[in-house]
Amino acid sequence: MHPTFASFPKARMRRMRQNAQLRAMVRENIFTPDDLIWPVFVMKGSDNETPVPSMPGVVRRTVDRIAKAAIEAQALGIPAICLFPYTSQEDRTEDCAEAWSPNNLTNQAIRAIKSAAPDIAVMTDIALDPYNINGHDGFVENGEIVNDRTVEALVKMALCQAEAGADILGPSDMMDGRIGAIRSALESEHYQNVTILSYAAKYASGFYGPFRDAVGASAALTGDKKTYQMDPGNSDEALRLVARDIREGADMVMVKPGMPYLDICRRVKDQFGVPTFAYQVSGEYAMIMAASQNGWLDHDAVMMESLLAFKRAGCDGVLSYFAPAAAKLLQG
């Protein structure tokens, strides 16, 4: 015990917990809607949505419905929305050309949100998996996920998204050198105000399963992502990745998944003090929803407790499928 701390009975730790007022006065961390980024799924068509079975309460929306969702999110005080496309089968190819088509689902959705809800920031995903016939984040040559050719494609994707009006680019691919390449392309094409939130420490995780259902990549994926995503046993490596991405021009960094990797969030924040985000991924959402639907957990309590944990671990914010539900609850 620290020598200046009183001991019992001068110190009774329960004194400061005896009522809501005292507890509120000394609470060290709070969660507000400002801390949320809402990931959403975009699909083809108009005025329609389809549920994602492994993510109860989550739907894929057509572009016009995405714009409506953005208006709602803006009204709830959610500062940012993050787009993931559900690409139709004919747009998944070996050359992934749809990824940098100016009119792909993501780029359409960026423009629709920008005109419907100009006060919400639009974040994108940069990786080839939604467009790749084999479900990988990079090009596959003779069974190998190749790095440098993939980075060139990611740069094209980034420039298209910047052109469509994206505020935050989210490279989630884990190729080496992509942050530097994207940053210098943005600078030379006069997109110097576009921000990058790098998926810097992204682990090869089993918790992405429901997401791959949501974007239709589960069946497509051949093999695993262990040659580019991080080994779950590693922690120092996450710090090296974050250091590198900041040096290459990332404005913000992410740890992913979230709850099983709160130790990484804390180390990143302590070591670098940069804007740090976590992604509470699809599998984490699915676990809480499944238990709640069984009556085994209190949905609202566990949702808010899980979000607050990210703040306590040092995060500035969290990408979460709970965003609208949490913001509604916080609004009262």
Q: Tell me if 182 contacts ligand PBG by CB under 6 A.
A: no
Check 202, 225, 269, 311 and give the catalytic one.
Answer: 202
Query: For the chain, how many helices (H) and strands (E)?
Result: 11, 12
- The closest of 46, 28, 33, 9 to 317, measured between CA atoms, is 33
CA–CA distance, 208 with 218 (Å, rounded to integer): 10
Q: Tell me if 43 contacts ligand PBG by CB under 6 A.
A: no
226 is catalytic: no
CA–CA distance, 164 with 126 (Å, rounded to integer): 14
Shortest-Cβ-distance residue relative to ligand PBG: 211
Which member of 181, 259, 281, 326 binds ligand PBG (CB under 6 A)?
A: 281
CA–CA distance, 210 with 218 (Å, rounded to integer): 9
Q: Tell me if 326 contacts ligand PBG by CB under 6 A.
A: no
Which member of 76, 113, 127, 162 binds ligand PBG (CB under 6 A)?
A: 127
Strands 140-141 and 144-145: antiparallel
CA–CA distance, 244 with 240 (Å, rounded to integer): 6
- Min CB(125)–ligand PBG separation in Å: 5
Per the DSSP assignment, residues forming a β-bridge with 320 are 280
Q: Which of residues 158-177 bind ligand PBG (CB under 6 A)?
A: 172
- Residue whose pair of structure tokens reads 């990058």 in the numeric block: 196
44 is catalytic: no
- Min CB(69)–ligand PBG separation in Å: 17
Q: Tell me if 282 contacts ligand PBG by CB under 6 A.
A: yes
Q: Tell me if 266 contacts ligand PBG by CB under 6 A.
A: no
How many residues lie near ligand PBG (CB under 6 A)?
11
- The closest of 214, 305, 223 to 259, measured between CA atoms, is 305
Q: Which of residues 64-103 bind ligand PBG (CB under 6 A)?
A: none
List contacts with ligand PBG (CB under 6 A): 125, 127, 129, 137, 172, 208, 211-212, 225, 281-282
Catalytic residues: 202, 256
